[in-house]
Amino acid sequence: MEQITILEGRQKQIFEKKKGVAQPDIACDTSSLSGSVSQRACVFCGSRVVLYPIADAIHVVHGPIGCAAYTWDIRGAVSSGPELHRLSFSTDLQEMDVIYGGEKKLYHSLIELIEQYKPKAAFIYSTCIVGLIGDDIDAVCKKVAKECGIPVLPVHSEGFKGTKKDGYKAACHALMKLIGTGSTEEISKYSINILGEFNLAGEAWIIRQYYEKMGIEVVATLTGDGRIDAVRQAHGATLNVVQCSGSMTWLAKEMEAKYGIPYIRVSYFGIEDMSKSLYDVAKYFPDRLDIMEAAKEVVSEEVKSLYPSLQKFKKALTGKKAAIYVGGAFKTFSLIKALRSIGMSVVLAGSQTGDKNDYARLKEMCDEGTVIVDDSNPVELSKFILEKEADLLIGGVKERPIAFKLGIGFCDHNHERKIPLAGFVGMYNFALEVYQSVMSPVWQFAPRKGGTL
């Protein structure tokens, strides 16, 4: 294949695992170079995806129309009841607002909206220019909250003020203001919050059901199928169970400091990690052996039916190679294990937002020769996919057509998954989707992997 250059200044964000060679730590947690075709997004995006699934609140984007338009119902975070989160509200700031300020417009918009939709709370996202024109959205929120009698929470998510991770933090900051304002009287001692599970394709329901089968009460899911009242009570839970390390660890730490609630990190992808996430919760309640018994039962029952059905996929996929490029690093760990369980190896692993510890762990987990990247771009992804002869790419919306152009399979492990990939049933779905894409008959007709037909 043609030689592709790695962007200068990016070398430190890429390495290949090699035996016996001392390797420096990967550089990460930095903002992207100017001029790169980065796959990353901004602070606002981070806040928006975290809070979006709260379905009985209105989410108002204070800024020009684009930020609201591009985030209108793009995340399949499903709700079992209200669906206010799927609408798009914007102050649609105009030139005059930029000059004279948008506070008044925001105020009127909120009053109109709250009257129309009667939400349980309102989240107000500030976008890039709000940070520049100096609107005091805190003051507007306070005023509206007082007049309307519901929580009106500013989310300081100006796009340029950091990376997507800072957006997660701004969202968690807003959540912290809600947590602790509800009653915890009736909450059992054997209770948890599920953090960092967004109910894409109904995944939170699956996870919740497992815990409930174990006799655990789930107080709040943050934020999948989220409700304001549940968030307000979240401080009543005994344990925080955190998935998606990038977005919610900060909140877990805050809750630990403020309410003394400890947290554990889990993942619901793949048999191994899914089982562990049930056992780890059970272990936390040692005085109730029945909880561990129930966890074992859930796992054994699920695995019994799942394991045989995976064998067909494993047989076909053994020896195939995968490339992973997803948002959070934690997901990558699970995916490596899940792929191994269906016979596939990982030749490229990367994330948009991983930190030093994540990458150290990734290095440990990966096979020799695996390329590890932080904040990659399409040139690099294509280069490594071809060099390492991957048969599958796991990524998000912008990566999908690249995989297909290269003639390899694809699995969306991001917002656009259409079937649940979490839980035991999710492992089956994942294997099925990978199998169908990698083994698709279309590849018989397509030139593949940089070559000809």
Partner 1 sequence: MLLRHTSKEVKEREGLTINPAKTCQPIGAMYAALGIHGCLPHSHGSQGCCSYHRSTLTRHYKEPVMAATSSFTEGASVFGGQANLLAAIETIFSVYEPDIIAVHSTCLSETIGDDLQQITRKAKDDGKVPEGKHVIFASTPSFIGSHVTGYANMVAGIAAQFPVSTGLKKNQYNIIAGWMEPSDMREVKRLSKELGVKIVLFPDTSDVLDAPQTGKHVFYPKGGTTIAELQSAGDSLASLALGPISAEPAAIALEKGCKVPFETLDIPIGLSATDRFIMALSKVASVQVPDEITAERGRLVDVMADMEQYLYGKRVALFGDPDQLFPLTEFLLDLNMKPVHIVSGTPGQRFEKQMRQLLDERSPETNFRNGLQADMFLLHQWMKNEPVDLLIGNTYGKYMARDEDVPFIRFGFPILDRIGHSYFPSVGYGGGLRLVEKILNALMDRQDRDALEEKFELVM
The nearer residue to partner 1, 2 or 364, going by C-beta atoms, is 2
Give dist(CA 328, CA 346) in Å, integer: 16
The nearer residue to partner 1, 226 or 270, going by C-beta atoms, is 226
Cα distances (angstroms) measured from residue 442 to each of 137, 319, 437, 438, 453:
52, 20, 9, 10, 12
* Least distance (Å) between residue 148 CB and partner 1: 15
The nearer residue to partner 1, 40 or 361, going by C-beta atoms, is 40
* Least distance (Å) between residue 62 CB and partner 1: 10
The nearer residue to partner 1, 96 or 289, going by C-beta atoms, is 96
Which helix (H) or strand (E) segment is 265 a member of? strand 263-265
- Long-range pairs for 91-96 at CB < 8 Å and ≥24 separation? 91/60, 91/61, 91/62, 91/63, 92/64, 92/65, 92/68, 93/62, 93/63, 93/64, 93/129, 93/130, 94/64
* Least distance (Å) between residue 90 CB and partner 1: 5
Q: Do the beta carbons of residue 310 and residue 292 sit within 8 Å? A: no
* Least distance (Å) between residue 229 CB and partner 1: 19
Q: Do the beta carbons of residue 291 and residue 317 sit within 8 Å? A: no
Cβ-proximal residues to 82 (8 Å cutoff; 6+ apart), any chain: 55, 56
Within a 13 Å sphere around the CA of 13, how many CA atoms are in the beta-carbon half? 25
* Least distance (Å) between residue 393 CB and partner 1: 11
The nearer residue to partner 1, 162 or 180, going by C-beta atoms, is 162
The nearer residue to partner 1, 190 or 384, going by C-beta atoms, is 384
The nearer residue to partner 1, 98 or 187, going by C-beta atoms, is 98
Residue with tokens 């070398």: 11
Distance of CA 68 to the CA centre of its chain: 19
> Cβ of 82: how many Cβ atoms within 10 Å?
16
* Least distance (Å) between residue 25 CB and partner 1: 22
Helix (H, G, I), strand (E, B) or coil at 173: helix
Which one, of 75, 118, 70, lies nearest residue 90 by Cα? 70
Cβ-proximal residues to 367 (8 Å cutoff; 6+ apart), any chain: 17, 345, 346
* Least distance (Å) between residue 280 CB and partner 1: 34
* Least distance (Å) between residue 132 CB and partner 1: 5
